[in-house]
Chains A and B, each alone.
Chain A
Amino acid sequence: MLRSMSKCLTFVRCALVVAAALLVLTGGPAVAAQDQPPQPQDEFVPVGNSPAPEQIPAAPLLIGAYIVVLGGLFFYVLSLSRRLGAVQQDVQRLEGELKRRGRA
């Protein structure tokens, strides 16, 4: 009985040592900390005198965003004007045809 208990305790002790070794080797807490997503900003603060560090160049993204918005809006207005112009032209043509038929 005592012998089997001692065997069991030895096994538990070995398992704990292996688990601790694995935790240290794999850097468990560090990995867990890295898995945490960055926290969202709950406030936008204007920059002071020191410029913010730039890892990814911001200018192409900023200019690209403004080109997309202004270009997208411009092309939509253009497409809408063309569609409207074409339909109004057809309406006028058909109205003229109806009038001619009415006279005939």
Chain B
Amino acid sequence: MPKWFSPTAILCGLMFVVSPVLIARSPDESAMGMVYKIYYYHMPSAWMFLLAPLVCGVSSALFLARGRAEDDRRAWAAAELTVLFGALTLITGPLWARRAWGTWWVWDARLTSSLVGWMIGWAYLILRRYGGPGSDKLAAGVALFGAVNVPFIFISVNYWRTIHPPTTVVPKLPVSMGVPLWFCVTAFLLLFILLMTMRLRLEVARTRLDALYVALDE
């Protein structure tokens, strides 16, 4: 692992330990009450869920253009994180919605496009796992659709009628709510970088393993 990995992992772990304290001290929201505090983990998860398919899509585009294995490995790592953070977002969201909206799910543009983005992540992983030879390029094509879906997910709450809060709530947050949120966003971003590094390391080790098997067969 790179030299910065261990200190960053310790810092990230500490941030995750401290975050519940900051969240517990932050005020409840006037309309939603205590359940609003799901936001402090839901929103950073959702941002990582938007970041991961972007990384996957850009890496896949580079892989299709240049054919370099490292771009493909980065795309595969990011696709797995798309599925992970997508699952966290799509589970915490309905838990929040149940109390805030009185329903687990609504088929509005934000929730539906998020579900589609998550399924594109799964499609990428299934293609890589069971697609056979040439699936790397097919999966890269799928990843492009995943990346194109990201701006749609982001702006959907501002352009289509929905009960999901729009993106404008974040800049309007008072300090008492903004500090825990940005603290959690930083913790999730560090975690994303650490997980990407670990996952890339796994792909590099798998490539080395394949090369060793070939060398042994010769």
Contact = CB atoms under 8 A, between A and B. Distances in A.
Interface of A: 37-48, 51-56, 58-59, 61-62, 64-66, 68-70, 72-73, 76-77, 80-81, 83-84, 87-88, 90-91, 94-95, 97-98, 101
Contact of A45 (B29, B42, B163, B216): B29
A72 B30 contact: no
Q: 9 closest Cβ contacts across the A-B interface? A: A52-B33, A46-B27, A58-B35, A94-B212, A87-B205, A47-B28, A58-B34, A45-B30, A65-B38
Interface of B: 16, 20, 27-39, 41-42, 45, 84, 87-88, 91-92, 95-96, 98-99, 101-102, 106, 157, 161-166, 168-169, 172-174, 176-177, 191, 195, 198-199, 201-202, 205-206, 208-209, 212-213, 215-216
Nearest to B162: A40
A43 B172 CA distance: 6
B88 A58 contact: no
Given A40-B165, A46-B177, A73-B191, A98 B157 contact: no
Contacts of B195: 76-77, 80
B212 A52 contact: no
A101 to B, nearest CB: 8
A44 B177 contact: yes
Given A72-B88, A91-B208, 14 more contacts: A40-B166, A44-B173, A46-B29, A47-B27, A47-B28, A52-B28, A53-B33, A54-B33, A65-B42, A70-B16, A72-B91, A73-B88, A91-B205, A95-B212
B34 A48 contact: no
A59 B216 CA distance: 58
17 contacts: A38-B163, A41-B165, A42-B169, A43-B169, A46-B28, A46-B177, A47-B27, A51-B33, A53-B33, A65-B42, A65-B92, A65-B95, A66-B41, A69-B45, A91-B212, A94-B212, A94-B216
A97 B216 contact: yes
Contacts of B87: 72
